[in-house]
Chains A and B, each alone.
Chain A
Amino acid sequence: MKKMNWEDLLSPLNISGNFLLAKMAMDTAKTANRLREARNILLGPLHTAIAETPYEIEYQEDRVKLKHYKPAELRFKTPLLITYALVNRETMLDLQPDRSVLKGFLEAGLEVYMIDWGFPTRIDRYLTIDDHVNVYMDHAVEHIRKKHGIPQVNLMGICMGGTFSIIYTALHPEKIRNLVTTVTPVNFDTDENLLNVWARSIDADGIVEAYGNMPGDLLNLGFLMLNPARLIIDKYVGFLENVHKKDFVENFVRMERWIFDSPDVPGETFRQFINDLYKRNLLVKNKLNIGGKIVDLRKITMPVLNIYARLDHLVPPSSSDKFIPLIPSRDKEDVALDTGHIGIYVSSKTQKEFGPKIVRWLRDRDGEAVPVQADAAPEKPKTRSRKKATVPAMAAKNGMNG
């Protein structure tokens, strides 16, 4: 009987055993060394905390909080309110000290407020886009107007939060001085990216009926499946290749913490976002009904800066670049950056372009703050369960979300 060897075993796979063995021998020493270093790094102290910039919670209603970040030296008259998406968390703007859009704003002297949507539970399943825009966002704006005695605030929206910001601005144009939208989906009738194709084919009503809220983990699974080769395999191969580098490991873990820190999306909001926006594309048609009012983009007349990413696989350029032509504002600008949906906020390259561009643009339009007239004083925000606390970011995060 013929004795089996490596070549025989591997022949059905058309792989030469000699090749593999030679390769293994060459790599063994290198791998062993790398594993030793990796072991030291993974078992040693790692700094993987995110969102460490200190803030105060100035206002809270239900699960929603308004974070306030103060610059060391104030150089802007109008504060900026940032609205993040309901998918993932606003901590992305402050991922690590050397790559923090937020830190850049504060160093430029910009006072920042940021909405933290929190973690919806089953009690939030009936909340609609109307509740998010006309209740939570509006109360945050009212709080800032009242506190600073100003008639208008600067508003910046991110992704789905950008869509909310556009809706809010169209419904309450008198309260917004300048609008900044970043990687914001506006036109949903595009096949440029998979997400739009999939979103149009799913039964949002069925999901809401079955789950109540749209689970964050299910959404994340969907995002991973947009590019399984890179996001499920290659990313972790890259991690293994660089596991002996401490900086790389820390940054990688930070990003992982952010990516999989995914709140559920309130059921009715998810249903409306899929059906009215992804499937019917009502926003660009000026037919979107929010709380009984039609969202008319022609009411957006204030200065608008729209930034999007050319390599965005979630919100493609064809979804974002339709916004500017649809609004009558005379001071409006599109900026396209050569990066992706997340890279726009965290890549070292765009750190030098994205944040500084917004700061310059806002500074040019800061002007004199108009004091609030007695008869034009904003209404006191209608608040419930309001509280104020000063907490270091991570401690607060653990307390709030743990």
Chain B
Amino acid sequence: MGEDKGRTGSPENLFSAWMKAGSDFWGPAASLLPGAAGGPFPFSANQSSEAAQAADLWRTLYETWGTFFSVTGRESAPGNLQPAAILPELIMKIAQPFWAGYFLLQQGGEEKAEEKKEFVSNMGEIARSITRAWFEMYQKELNQFLNIPQLGLTRFYQERVNRTMEKFNKFQSELSEFIHIFYTPLERAFQALQEEMPKIEKKGDNMAEESKALYQAWIGNLEKNYSGLLRSPDYLQSLEKTLKALQDYRKTRQQFMIDIIQDLPIPTNKEMDELYREVYLLKKRVRELEKR
């Protein structure tokens, strides 16, 4: 894969080609926009008032956008701002992490596929690699956006939404790893079954009985594989991590739910728990007083 870098099919070149195609399309398209230099339909005084209002709106938007970029240090001045011209660049900035992540994901899958020649028996491992690559990409490229400090009046609400998304993704990541580990004995038992099939077939007599024996052998093998797996440090660690991720997700989701429920005439779990605790302590106190 490394050798391909710099060639036509490398991620960077593909991305550049795609961006060029985007520019080629959006550039002429932008010139069609009202108010754009050289546009075929320049607005004039004899146009309808609705069209004139729309043109004003566009102009205001350009100017605001231009001001924003000049404030953030861009060279473009509001006067010569061409939104369509900066559009590809903007898209590039936004899409680059996704693109890089996608290649990381694809690379992981391809490398695994190249390493493992026996396609059927290694499907699980390939799927696991792809899943891992996806979550690595998520951690490196996307998760950081959820941790950007929020500003303004709604910052706490937005942070709770982001945290809930982050914890949900983390839970999904741990769960997929757990499911993969849990699936391993099934894969092994099926492999053993495949090896056993020709032997059974050769016997040939009373196939109905043999198939039952085959199932019994398979389920016995599966049970044996599970009994080994379920005590293994790998499994225990994955179980612990998955449960922890589930707990974290549920706890952050509860915070998020409180934000949603607080404007409705519904008590939150937090409020009810406080009440239940009060009731519990009061009942205990009453029992003690009754004993005296």
| A227 on the B face (CB < 8 A) | yes
Number of interface residues of B (CB under 8 A): 42
Residue of chain A at shortest CB distance from B210: A23
Given the complex of chains A and B, what is the CA–CA distance between A382 and B239 in angstroms?
Answer: 44
Residue of chain A at shortest CB distance from B208: A26
Do A203 and B197 have beta carbons less than 8 Å apart?
Answer: no
Given the complex of chains A and B, what is the CA–CA distance between A16 and B204 in angstroms?
Answer: 12
Pick the contact of A229 from B194, B223, B248, B280 — CB < 8 Å? B223
| B51 on the A face (CB < 8 A) | no
Given the complex of chains A and B, what is the CA–CA distance between A26 and B194 in angstroms?
Answer: 21
Known: A194-B230, A206-B247. A122 touches B207 (CB 8 A): no
| Contacts across chains A and B counted by CB atoms under 8 Å | 95
Pick the contact of B246 from A27, A126, A135, A210 — CB < 8 Å? A210
| Residues in B neighbouring A207, C-beta threshold 8 A | 243, 247
Given the complex of chains A and B, what is the CA–CA distance between A117 and B200 in angstroms?
Answer: 53
Query: Which of B119, B207, B251 has most A Cβ within 10 Å?
Result: B207
Given the complex of chains A and B, what is the CA–CA distance between A228 and B272 in angstroms?
Answer: 37
| Residues in B neighbouring A194, C-beta threshold 8 A | 230-231
| B219 on the A face (CB < 8 A) | yes
Report the minimal beta-carbon distance from B32 to chain A, rounded to whole angstroms.
51
Given the complex of chains A and B, what is the CA–CA distance between A14 and B192 in angstroms?
Answer: 11
Mask of B164-199 contacts with A, CB within 8 angstroms, 1/0: 000000000000000000100100000000110110
| Residues in A neighbouring B234, C-beta threshold 8 A | none
| A396 on the B face (CB < 8 A) | no
Report the minimal beta-carbon distance from A278 to chain B, rounded to whole angstroms.
14
Known: A26-B208, A127-B280, A212-B269. A203 touches B226 (CB 8 A): no
Do B243 and A125 have beta carbons less than 8 Å apart?
Answer: no
Do B276 and A123 have beta carbons less than 8 Å apart?
Answer: yes
Do A237 and B280 have beta carbons less than 8 Å apart?
Answer: no
Do A197 and B276 have beta carbons less than 8 Å apart?
Answer: no
| B240 on the A face (CB < 8 A) | yes
Do A210 and B251 have beta carbons less than 8 Å apart?
Answer: yes
Interface residues of A in 1-31 (CB under 8 A from B): 12-16, 18-19, 22-23, 26-27
Report the minimal beta-carbon distance from B123 to chain A, rounded to whole angstroms.
11
Pick the contact of B226 from A13, A22, A228, A382 — CB < 8 Å? A228
Do A210 and B247 have beta carbons less than 8 Å apart?
Answer: yes
| A201 on the B face (CB < 8 A) | yes
Do A12 and B120 have beta carbons less than 8 Å apart?
Answer: yes
Report the minimal beta-carbon distance from A206 to chain B, rounded to whole angstroms.
4
| Residues in A neighbouring B215, C-beta threshold 8 A | 237
Pick the contact of A122 from B244, B250, B273, B290 — CB < 8 Å? B273
| A202 on the B face (CB < 8 A) | yes
Knowing that A12-B119, A206-B247 are A-B contacts, what are 10 other residue pairs whose CB atoms are under 8 Å apart, sorted by A's residue number? A13-B120, A16-B201, A23-B211, A123-B280, A198-B236, A210-B251, A229-B223, A230-B223, A237-B219, A382-B290
Can you sample 16 A-B contacts with CB below 8 Å? A14-B197, A16-B197, A19-B197, A19-B207, A23-B208, A122-B276, A194-B230, A203-B243, A207-B247, A210-B247, A210-B248, A212-B269, A229-B219, A229-B226, A234-B219, A382-B287
Residues of A within 8 A of B (CB): 12-16, 18-19, 22-23, 26-27, 122-123, 125-127, 135, 194, 197-198, 201-203, 206-207, 209-212, 225-230, 233-234, 237, 382
